[in-house]
Amino acid sequence: MHKIPRILYLISSYAASYSVITATPNSQLDCANSLFHTLLTHYFPRDQGFQVQKWEPCKYDWSIELKSRTKDPKARAKEQPIFHRVPRENIGGFVVEKMHFVPRDNSHKDEEWIPHTFLAIMIDNLSTKPTWSTTALVQPRDILVPAFSLPPSIYNSNSPTQTSLSTPAPHTPILSAPAFLVLGPQIEFYTFDLHAERESDMCASVKPHRGHVIRICAENKIALGQMFEWVAGWEVRYEDGRVGEGARKWV
């Protein structure tokens, strides 16, 4: 990957969009769409039974709870939470689908494209990130969870982002899979686990990989390539027992 001129150009363009004063969230999202569509189609190639489609992660703005401004537990209990919001128009994403052959009768199988993994994009300059709560019920990575076909009812009814969740796709629930979140100028890599234990009403979670955050820039092109190659090779397991093999080899 790090030797392909177009990919290197797109990485540099996206990184530069966070340092150019005239850049807008729309132009940054355009850069992100170009870069990550190219990366996903490279690491999940069509000739291995994959296709990459646009995906809408959520319907409304995404809320990120900020840290409490007081250390007094009693005062904190009465404090109204404050949120940083990522506007809906600054959010995008892609779904990687894999071709499966589904038996219809004893002599016939139909081809069916089934979601394999998801990549969500949140355009944000991260200027307020030091104030984001790391203990809040809902984290930025949770934007990925509903895509794996979980019913919205599993979310805490008091969650400020409940109405932001996208409608689950009508497909077989995924038990485990890799997942990607582009958060401003960095990308985060996660593992989705349908039955993970979690201190909330959710029965699924996305867990970070060790060293899972990589800043998107030309200097990190090798690290980006290595992480994508490693993650793309993972198997995806479905609740009905099917297994989606990962991609095999790249140049």
Secondary structure (DSSP) of 189-226: EEEEETT---SSS-S-EEEEEEEEEEE-SGGGHHHHHH
- Where are the alpha helices (H) located in the chain, listed in sequence order? 5-16, 25-43, 73-78, 221-232
Count how many domains the chain has.
Answer: 1
Contact, 233 vs 223, CB < 8 A?
no
Which range of residues forms the domain containing residue 31? 5-240
Contact, 178 vs 228, CB < 8 A?
no
- pLDDT of the residue at 217: 95
- Where are the alpha helices (H) located in 89-238, listed in sequence order? 221-232
Q: For residue 95, tell me if it sits in a domain.
A: yes
Distance of CA 62 to the CA centre of its chain: 13
- pLDDT of the residue at 104: 67
pLDDT tens sequence for the chain (251 residues): 667 899 999 999 999 999 998 999 999 999 999 999 999 999 999 999 999 999 999 889 999 999 988 877 777 777 888 999 999 999 999 999 999 887 666 666 678 888 999 999 999 999 999 999 988 888 999 899 888 755 433 333 333 333 344 444 446 788 889 999 999 999 999 888 887 755 443 334 566 655 589 999 999 999 999 999 989 999 999 988 889 999 986 55
Q: For residue 150, tell me if it sits in a domain.
A: yes
- pLDDT of the residue at 204: 47
- pLDDT of the residue at 109: 67
Q: For residue 249, tell me if it sits in a domain.
A: no
221, two tokens: 């092109």
- pLDDT of the residue at 191: 87
127, two tokens: 């200027």
- pLDDT of the residue at 154: 35
- pLDDT of the residue at 219: 95
Q: For residue 149, tell me if it sits in a domain.
A: yes
210, two tokens: 């060790």
Q: For residue 162, tell me if it sits in a domain.
A: yes
Q: For residue 63, tell me if it sits in a domain.
A: yes
Q: For residue 246, tell me if it sits in a domain.
A: no
Round to whole Å and give the CA distance between 150 and 169.
9
DSSP structural state of residue 81: P
Q: For residue 32, tell me if it sits in a domain.
A: yes
